[in-house]
Amino acid sequence: MVERSAVTILALDDEPFMLKLLARMLANMGFTSVTLCDNGHAALARIDNVSARPNLILLDLNMPGMDGIEFVRHLVERNYSGSLILISGEDERMLQTAEKLVQAHKIQVLGHLHKPVKPEVLSALLEQWTPPAPSSLPAVKKIYGADELRAAIDSGQLVNYYQPKVALASGEVVGVETLVRWRHPVDGLVFPDQFISVAEAHGLINDLTRTVLTSALAQAKVWQQAGLTLRVAINISMDNLASLDFVDFVVDLTTRAGVPPQRVVLEVTESRLMQDTRAPLEILTRLRLKRFRLSIDDFGTGHSSLAQLRDIPFDELKIDQGFVHRAWSNETLRAMYDASLALARQLGMEVVAEGVEDRDDWDLLQRTGCDLAQGAFISAPMPAADFSGWLENWQERVRTEFGNFNVAP
Ligand code: C2E
Ligand code: CA
Ligand code: CA
């Protein structure tokens, strides 16, 4: 058990009275290292000082100026890896929705508190929380430097993992999504949230995408020769779509690999607002004319939104995992899932549900006529070498576990 006094907490609320109250409650529970902030900018300044990063943030959603949801977006940009408790005077549904939004950003939420905050409720949330061990204090993920990443790209330390996308009606594996990993000589396997933004910020994203696409196409070719017809998806950053050369490089690599463009899926998320949308629009439209498949990723979060759907001829819509897992048990999630599915149907797009983690998730998707599923229930992302072993195992599961397919795989 970690000493409570060693755990650092930040409370952010625009009401000074509320801050004092929270500080007193926390002190009574043994948490003495508590910082109080009455606005988001002050709190972010604390968090920018990496050695002073709090392990836990108590966050008021309703604040003038920067509200709680906007604050969370800034936390994500800063790779905050501590936990959150949300506080609000809003109704339960509003708090649940906010909680889901934060979880979609992969930040741990211990729960939410209604105002007026009751000490016993706060205490119960903190009871079930395991604060990080002192060795991992402060809660911060390592962010890599541009030079180190550049060297990693050049020396082949980036490797592709692949996660299957399967048809809900038949269990058939129709494609894979390529997810890049960094085999770091010292730190082991490093995940993309620790280096994609670095690549974007330092002009390395084109080289990174080229590396990922080149190996993904080579792998597609290997599968093709083994008689496996799989669509291969890669993730495209908005920064890839800033220069018109992108079309040539994708077309060139694909032609040289001998893979039909219909089997290449480009997953696009608009991670932040674009200054100038003309280049991305033109690039995506041209790629589509050349028969590449376009997919709108993380639908329902951030900026992957209606405006994009209106402007760009997507073939596929991926419902964000935050609206898929447990949608069967939560009315709000279910409403968002249903709406996304209906919208995609109306626009004639294929729908992929992400974050399918268990049989209950799978059953809901199947019942509601979703096209494709992706997630831990089917398989975590894996190296290409594991794919054929997994496939055999999956086909066996389809035969034995699922009795309700229309078509045999
Ligand atoms: P994404 O495109 O939304 O990819 C899905 C993420 O969800 C992956 O995280 C995947 O490992 C994870 N995931 C898979 N199944 C489940 C599940 O059942 N439950 C949950 N909670 N998560 C699941 P990963 O691999 O860490 O990638 C994170 C993000 O990094 C990706 O999100 C994508 O936006 C970005 N990314 C990955 N590879 C590339 C790349 O080559 N280029 C660019 N630009 N971005 C990439
Ligand atoms: Ca994706
Ligand atoms: Ca996604």
- d(CA 208, CA 64) in angstroms, rounded, equals 40
Superfamily of domain 4-126: Response regulator (3.40.50.2300)
User: pLDDT tens across 68-126, in order?
Assistant: 989 998 998 888 989 999 999 888 888 888 888 888 888 899 999 999 999 999 999 99
Task: Label residue 326 exposed, middle or buried (CB < 10 Å: 0-12, 13-18, 19+).
Answer: middle
- pLDDT-derived band at 189 (thresholds 50, 70, 90) equals very high
Domain ranges of the chain: 4-126, 146-314+379-401
Superfamily of domain 146-314+379-401: EAL domain (3.20.20.450)
Positive or negative torsion for Cα 405, 375, 206, 218: negative
User: pLDDT tens across 322-340, in order?
Assistant: 899 999 999 888 999 999 9
pTM of model > 0.95: no
User: pLDDT tens across 207-256, in order?
Assistant: 999 999 999 999 999 999 999 999 999 999 989 998 889 999 999 999 99
How far apart, in Å, are the Cα atoms of 211 and each of 44, 125, 144, 158, 253?
35, 44, 18, 8, 10
* Prior bond of 116 cis (ω within 30°): yes
Q: In what order do the strands lie in the sheet with 108-114?
A: 33-37, 8-12, 56-60, 83-88, 108-114
Ligand 1, atom 14: closest residue by C-alpha: 375
- d(CA 341, CA 247) in angstroms, rounded, equals 30
Whether the CB-CB separation of 128 and 109 falls below 8 Å is answered with no
Ligand approaching nearest to the C-alpha of 175: 2
Strand partners, 85: 58, 111
Eight-class DSSP state of 149 = H
For ligand 1, which residues put their CB under 6 angstroms from it?
Answer: 163, 179-180, 191-193, 196, 209, 212, 234-235, 237, 267, 269, 297-298, 321, 354-357, 375-376, 381
